[in-house]
Amino acid sequence: MKEKFTTEEWGLLKLLPFHVFLLVAGADKNVDKEEIAQFDAEIKGAPFYKDPLHREIALDILTSDVGDLLRQAMDVSRFAERMTRMKTVLQTKLTHDEYQRFVGSLFINGLKIARASGGGPLGMGDKVSQEEKVALAALATMFELDVNTIAKNFG
């Protein structure tokens, strides 16, 4: 699917998994080792992603300078601009179904990151903090995620 995008667009898309990680893991102002480990596991699990675009982006990340990608993603002054640009690029270059599957796959990874730590006493109870739920809702809203896509493609 990489061939659908310019080099600049592809570079932006490679930042998207990092933006999702930072948005969700940083929502409660406490990025912990479990969330980092989950993000690492998600990237390393790229060959098994159901969504082809997400799989291709994650595989490309594995052969890239991850530190540089993380530094770029952490530039919060450009976060909103990048997210808006990525949404536009994705909606322009993908079919509606491809777009929804990709965004759904990103959302699922964000949810896994949110569930990686937390919970009440002894780790029991809801592992997703209220702040993380708000971040996930913001992600879904920002990218106009159709929840039926998640049920249909990832259920």
Sign of CA dihedral 121, 125, 131, 136: positive
- Model-level pTM? 0.88
Of the CA atoms within 13 Å of residue 114, those in its CB half-sphere come to 23
Residues 6+ apart with CB under 8 A from 39: 17, 21, 25, 109, 113
Domain boundaries, the chain: 10-154
155 residues of the chain, pLDDT tens digit each: 999 999 999 999 999 999 999 999 999 888 899 999 999 999 999 899 999 999 999 999 999 999 999 999 999 888 889 999 999 999 999 999 999 999 999 999 999 999 998 654 445 556 789 999 999 999 999 999 997 766 676 55
Can you give the pLDDT at residue 122? 47
Can you give the pLDDT at residue 105? 94
Distance separating alpha carbons of residues 131 and 114, to the nearest angstrom: 10
What are the tokens at 5? Answer: 């995008």
Of the CA atoms within 13 Å of residue 111, those in its CB half-sphere come to 11
Distance separating alpha carbons of residues 25 and 131, to the nearest angstrom: 9
Which fold is adopted by the domain 10-154? TerB-like (1.10.3680)
Can you give the pLDDT at residue 126? 67
Can you give the pLDDT at residue 148? 78
